[in-house]
Structure 1
Amino acid sequence: MVNDLNLPESIKAFEQINTKRAISMIIGVSVAALLFLIWLIYFKAPATSEIPWVKNLSFLNATFNSFSTIFLLLGFREIKRRNFSKHMNYMISAFITSSLFLVSYVIYHNFVGDTPFEGEGVIRPIYFFILITHIVLSAFVVPLVLTSFFFAFSGKFETHRKVSKWTFPIWLYVSVTGVMVFILLKSFG
């Protein structure tokens, strides 16, 4: 639904949620998710059973990240055109593909574990720069995205805009570098 200014209307249930409580919950969920991923990737041994199709999930992960990138760019274009309805649809699509990526990523790392990078020479520091910045910034994506969505859905569009000025470039960078990491691992792994 939109009003006379073509701004989307808030979702009434979100208007009733205390902002400080919502941000606290978002941070709590984000920290729990981050700690789980750190445990899964760096401390948990891969599952002992092998499922052949799981090894192909790395390609699916890169595909989800590619779609997220496309939806983010389309959403950015639509907000610049002040087409709030299309912007919202593209951003929700980016959220869905990023969420599907996360589920697939967890399944992959549970069964396959970490993939070592075997490239040598100048590509090695390039790969690790991309990987490290990707990992560090990905820790901020979940809380930023959830916070941006909360402010949009609760009708706090000015705050949504301020948070999204940080969310968009970080989310885009993480989506693009996720694909780059996949390509470099497949090319040099």
Structure 2
Amino acid sequence: MAMTEEEKKYKGIIWALSIIVPLAVAALFGINLPKMGYDVEPLSFLPPIYATINGLTAVLLVWAVSAVKGGNTKLHENLIKLCMVCSGLFLLMYVAYHMTSVSTSYGGEGAIRYVYFFILITHILLSIIIIPFVLFTFVRGIAGAYERHKKLARITYPMWLYVAVTGVIVYIMISPYYNH
């Protein structure tokens, strides 16, 4: 099936965002205001909030899929929009926290350390890979290219759900090591 005009219109923007967002996050993540000598209050209250947002995103994603399977496409669309807002809020809080706080090292030992780093690395990699998948899936749905939307959503959904759930797991695993 051919791309709709709406899909063509957003294709360049989606690819630009898919490159710019991870690069901007990496660049901002590298800016640590306390290490640079700025006297800023660490935003240490943010990790449980953005972990909760990740958990909420996971619940909303499952609900959205359930809604569309039940024929409620408007609820599905609204829930997906809310998931995108949640993901954006997570990203902003995550970057703000890391810009104002000294990085926390994971303190677990033995096999659990390998589990933590496996989850963390797959979470980070998929959080980068998922960007164009989410955006293209969203545009296909909004553009009315439902068969193409559905086909891509079968790939996007489990990846996005994995990123949301593992974000919570990473937080739970590292939270005992935060400097409060």
> Is the contact made by 2:32 and 2:101 (CA closer than 8 Å) also made in structure 1?
no
Q: Which residue identity is paired with 2:31?
A: K
Structure 1 residue 45 corresponds to structure 2 residue 45: no
Where do residues 3-22 of structure 1 align in structure 2 (5 Å cutoff)?
16-17=5-6, 19-22=7-10
Structure 1 runs (4+) greater than 3 angstroms displaced:
none
> Is the contact made by 1:148 and 1:163 (CA closer than 8 Å) also made in structure 2?
yes
Q: 1:145-164 deviations in whole A, cap 9, x for unaligned?
A: 11111111111111111111
Structure 1 portions without partners, runs of 5+: 1-14
State the Cα distance separating 1:16 from its structure 2 match: 4.8
SS in 2 for 1:44: coil
Structure-1 separation of matches of 2:78 and 2:31: 37
Where do residues 99-118 of structure 1 align in structure 2 (5 Å cutoff)?
99-118=88-107
Q: Which residue of 105, 113, 119 maps to 1:124?
A: 113
Identical amino acids, percent of aligned pairs = 35
Q: 1:108-156 deviations in whole A, cap 9, x for unaligned?
A: 1111143211111111000000001001100022211111111111111
Counterpart of 2:166 in structure 1 is 177
Structure-2 separation of matches of 1:76 and 1:128: 30
Counterpart of 1:96 in structure 2 is 85
State the Cα distance separating 1:39 from its structure 2 match: 2.0
State the Cα distance separating 1:44 from its structure 2 match: 2.7
> Is the contact made by 2:105 and 2:177 (CA closer than 8 Å) also made in structure 1?
no
Structure-2 separation of matches of 1:142 and 1:69: 16
State the Cα distance separating 1:69 from its structure 2 match: 0.6
> Is the contact made by 1:49 and 1:111 (CA closer than 8 Å) also made in structure 2?
no
Structure-2 separation of matches of 1:182 and 1:121: 19
Structure-1 separation of matches of 2:155 and 2:46: 29
1:49–1:143: structure 2 CA closer, same or farther, 3 Å change rule? farther
Q: Which residue identity is paired with 1:96?
A: V
Q: Which residue identity is paired with 2:10?
A: A
Structure-2 separation of matches of 1:178 and 1:31: 21
Structure 1 residue 35 corresponds to structure 2 residue 23: yes
Q: Which residue identity is paired with 1:99?
A: G
How high is the TM-score relative to the length of structure 1? 0.84
> Is the contact made by 2:32 and 2:98 (CA closer than 8 Å) also made in structure 1?
no
Structure 2 portions without partners, runs of 5+: none
Where do residues 125-144 of structure 1 align in structure 2 (5 Å cutoff)?
125-144=114-133
Counterpart of 1:67 in structure 2 is 56
Q: Which residue identity is paired with 1:38?
A: A
Counterpart of 2:136 in structure 1 is 147
Q: 1:40-88 deviations in whole A, cap 9, x for unaligned?
A: 22x3334422225x11101111011011011001011112212211211
Q: Which residue identity is paired with 1:22?
A: Y
Q: Which residue of 148, 157, 175 maps to 1:168?
A: 157
Provide the aligned length of Structure 1 versus Structure 2: 172
Q: Which residue of 10, 14, 38 maps to 1:26?
A: 14
SS in 2 for 1:60: helix
